[in-house]
Structure formats: C-alpha cells, structure tokens
Amino acid sequence: MRSTLPAIDEVWQQQSRQRIIQKIEQLPKTSLVYLACSGGMDSMLLLFLFAGLIPVRLRVIHIDHQLQSESAKWSALVAKYCQQLAIPCTMIQVNVQAGNVEAEARKARYHAFERVLSADDILILGHHQQDQAETLLMRLFQGAGVRGLSAMREWQKRRIKDVNSSDFKNYFIWRPFLNLSKAQIQQWASQYAFDYVDDPMNHDDDFERVWHRQQLLPMLAQRIPHVQDSLSRTAVLMQDADQILQEVLVQDVGQCVDPFGRLNITYLNRLSLPRQRQLLSHWMQGEAHYRPPLAMVERLHTEVIDARQDANSRLHWSATYFMRYEYLLYRYSEAQWQAIQQPITASEIHLKLKDVISVAGQCFQIDDVGTEEYGLHADILAQSLQLMPRQGGEKIRLSGQKEHRLLKKMLQEAKIAPWLRNQIQILMYHNTPLGVFTPLGFWLADSAFVEAGGWLPMRVDECVCKTSQVMSQSII
C-alpha cells in the first residue's frame, strides 16, 4: 500500500532507510545488534524498522528503571511487540541510586547494557535531532569544551572494562535517527499504528533536559525557526574540530607519556598551555567515561605539578589518585593504591615457560631470551625459588656490572617512586640473588646461574625489553 505522506517526506524516509541499510551492510558480520527499547515512540519505530531489515541479528534490551508505577505495563508492551515480531528480548530491572535522577538512571541503564553486550556488539539508541540540540545546550551552559559540544555522535566506539572478566572490550553505539526531527519520527511512526509509552518524566520540567525541551528550545524557535538544525550542524562541526584535536593529542601522548603510563612533566611544559590542558584532561580520564572538569585539571597543575618536589603532593578525583615524583606524574586507581600499601611477605614460587605472574605491581611472563642475550639457567626453572621483600641494606651486582651496589641507591637512580619501593622483591635460589622485580622490569643479577640464552621474567606489555634497556630508559 502506498504511503499517504507528502512527497517530500517520502524522499527523506527513503534516504534515511537507505542510509540505515548501507550502514547495516558495513557492520561486522559476527556482531549482534541490540536495540535499547524503552517502549517510547522513537525506539518502538526502530524496533519495527530493524525487525524488517535484520530479523535474525536483532536483539532487544528493555530496561525497567522502576521509577514509575506503570513501568511493568511498559515492559509488557515491549515484550508483546517483540513476541509478535519474533525478536528475542531481554528484560532488566535496575535500581536507580539516590541523587540526580537523570544521571543515576543513565548510569544504571548503561551498566545493564554493558553486562549484556559482548565485544564488538552494536547498541542502537533512539536519540534524534531534538535530543542532540538539548544535549548541546546543556553542555554549553555547563561550560563544556570542544569535545563536550560535539554532543552525541551517530556512530561511537566505546572501550570498557568487561564486568564479567578482568579484560577490556569494545562495543559500538549507533544512533540512526540523530539527523531526524521529532516531527519526522512522528510522521514515520504513524505508518505502523503501534502503541507506545509516554513517560510522565518527559513532561516534568523540574528535570534539566525537560526544561530545555519544553521551555528553552520553543522560546529560541520563536526567534530562530530552524534552531534545531543549526545546533545539530554545530555539533557536527565540533566533532570535526574534536577529531583534529585528537590527532594532535595522539602526538602529545606519544611524546609525554611513557610505556608505564607516567606523564613526563619536562615534556609537558614544552607544550602550549591549551595542549597541556588537553593532555592532562585525557591522561586524568584514564579508563573513565568522562573527562575531569577544568577546575580539577587546574588543581592538578597548581597542587601537584607546580608543587615543590619534596612536598609529597597528591590529588584525588573520581576514585583515582594523582601524585608526582621528580619529573613524573603517576596515576592509580583506588584498588591499585590500596594494593601498593599492602605489606609484602616472603614466599616460594615455581615457574615454567609462558607463566604470567604479578610481582611489584606489574605482570611478568617467563620467556626465553634468545641466544644473543643473557638469562637464567634452564635447570633452575622448575626448582623452588624464593621471592623476598626488601629489608634495606641489600647489595647486589647486576649482570654486566663490575661491583656490588646498594639496591636502595639503584632504585633512587632509576627514579622509582618512594611509595613503590616497598613492592620491590628479590628472586632468590639457595640464598643467591637471581634478580630484582621492579616496576620498571626484572633486573638480572650476576650469579653462577646466568648463561647465554636461558630465560627471564619479562613485562607482559613490553616483552621485547631486556633488563639493560629498562634500566637505561628509566634513567633518561
């Protein structure tokens, strides 16, 4: 049956549908496609569209925030349509924490999504042009920079820690309606004649987003009729600008952040102040979803970077500690910082090739070193070895050196931060030091058990580095 929509609407519908089909053809073939369906008009229209386009790959996730007395009926509505369309549907109830309801509901919702999604899966969201305009205005009034004013992207890659394991995973967010107006979506949805949810919270302008939607945007539209188009275009231009800044940031990270994640203050100070702020903001963010506010970046500068070297300054933000030693900045999660404080006790250890062990706050893999390098004799690999904590006053001669030296002095020369030195452990065999586990790598000691070839514990993320290279790099 031919649509009764005006011809101009038929054109934009055809174009939008064609863009969606083209994007589907580019998706990884092994990825599942999940639609976040609240039961509202936008996500319900997406359900009917994608059920017709990719019925086999499509899955639905419905989140019940339990904030409304009718929420169970909304879940039932989504389940009914999914059953009619033969689309698998996962229903999840979440508990929204006290505080900012909008922010806490969003946090609970995404946490639920990320528990379901596997690596490289796609999550479809129903945001449209009005949502984009609201987001941009809200961030503008919050004092956001270029990245914040980029607002929402149609296609976005996210890297998160897998809640089901200790690994990280990537997934993708797709917003197919981001360039469509609310009126266009309403016209398109009218063709399907489905029921949908109208959440009362979407009309309560006590919420910031709803106030922008019901109060500010209509007022602006009286003066600027195409204000949503203009704001949407601004977001795209900000995304272009952000991409350019990210390319500059990659260069600055490569210059200023070492393989151990430490930020070199000497190199940082060679950058212009805007590039310093961008780099510090990125570095402070770490694996978090959001960057720190400008005020926190400035506090890091004034309270830690510009503090006296002997001031033992430390800054805490978003469950992360930032501190300085010499010309380096360090960043630790609360769990990492607590682990550093734990006392070390002597222990026995049995090793074999390819074992991965965690010592001195780092991961090491037991590997052959090759015939041109020196390592430990293969005969002691299966023996019972001892890991001994530092007691103070130890003297060790490292492989290739002429004399014994105080371990304390070598740690100072290597610029290992004082709070890390209590994590140092010495690998022993029958009271003979074989080497030292440090945050910079394993330092091979000179002993009767050293031979050409052999094996060594090597940092997992830097397996090509040998002890002498790590030592020289840490002194630079």
Q: Give dist(CA 146, CA 141) in Å, integer.
A: 13
Task: Report the pLDDT averaged over residues 144-162.
Answer: 92
At residue 8, does pLDDT exceed 50? no
**Token code pair at residue 77:** 């509505």
Largest CA distance in the chain: 91
Q: Is 43 marked as a binding-site residue?
A: yes
CATH superfamily, domain at 7-235? HUPs (3.40.50.620)
CA end-to-end distance (rounded Å), the chain: 74
Known binding residue 39? Answer is yes
Instruction: Give dist(CA 469, CA 77) in Å, integer.
Output: 63
Q: What is the pLDDT of residue 40?
A: 96
Per-residue pLDDT, averaged over 401-408, amounts to: 93
pLDDT at 207 over 80: yes
**Is the pLDDT at 271 greater than 60, yes or no?**
yes
Q: What is the DSSP letter of 304?
A: I
The Cα 194–Cα 231 span in angstroms is 31
Assess whether pLDDT exceeds 70 at residue 414: yes
CA angle 116, 121, 126 (to 5 degrees): 85
Mean pLDDT of the chain: 90
The answer to whether 229 is annotated as binding is: no
| Per-residue confidence (pLDDT) for residue 260, from 0 to 100 | 85
Report whether pLDDT(468) > 50.
no
The answer to the question of whether 143 is labelled as a binding residue is no
pLDDT confidence of residue 475: 24
Give the separation between CA 47 and CA 87, rounded to whole angstroms: 9
Judge whether 296 is annotated as a binding position: no
User: Which residues face 363 on adjacent strands?
Assistant: 358
C-alpha dist (Å) from residue 385 to 356, 422, 445, 447: 15, 20, 15, 15
Q: Say yes or no to pLDDT of 465 above 50.
A: no
pLDDT tens figures, 51-99? 999 999 999 999 999 999 999 999 999 999 999 999 999 999 999 999 8
Judged by average pLDDT, the poorest of 199-213, 304-318, 454-468 is 454-468
- Reply yes or no on whether the pLDDT at 7 is more than 80: no
Helices and strands of the chain, counted as H and E runs:
16, 22
- To the nearest whole percent, how much of the chain has pLDDT over 70? 93
Residues in the chain: 476
Which is more confident, 150 or 466? Answer: 150
Handedness of CA 127, 103, 228, 239 (dihedral sign): negative
Estimate the share of the chain in helix, then strand, then coil, as percent rounded to the nearest 5: 45, 20, 35
Q: Domain segments of the chain: what residues?
A: 7-235, 257-339, 343-475
The pLDDT value given to residue 335: 87
Half-sphere exposure of 374 (CA within 13 A, CB side): 18
Determine the Cα–Cα distance for residues 96 and 102; give it in Å rounded to an integer: 9
This prediction's pTM: 0.78
306 labelled ligand-binding: no
Buried b (16+ CB within 10 A) or exposed e, 456-474: bbbbeeeeebbbbebbebb
* Average pLDDT rounded to a whole number, residues 273-280: 96
Residue 135: pLDDT above 80? yes
pLDDT in the model for residue 259: 87
Phi and psi at 61, nearest 5°, equal -120, 125
Of the candidates 394, 378, 392, 401, the residue with the CA atom closest to the CA atom of residue 449: 378
Sole residue written with tokens 């945007």:
217
Asked if residue 117 has pLDDT above 50, the reply is yes
* 46 pLDDT above the threshold of 70: yes
Residue with tokens 């969003």: 106
Tokens of 131: 């949502």
pLDDT value, residue 219: 96
Average pLDDT over residues 117-130: 96
Mean pLDDT of 285-294: 86
Whole-number Å distance between alpha carbons of 23 and 16: 11
Domain 257-339 has CATH 1.10.8.60: no
Residue type, 431: N
Question: Phi/psi of residue 314, each to 5°?
Answer: -150, 140
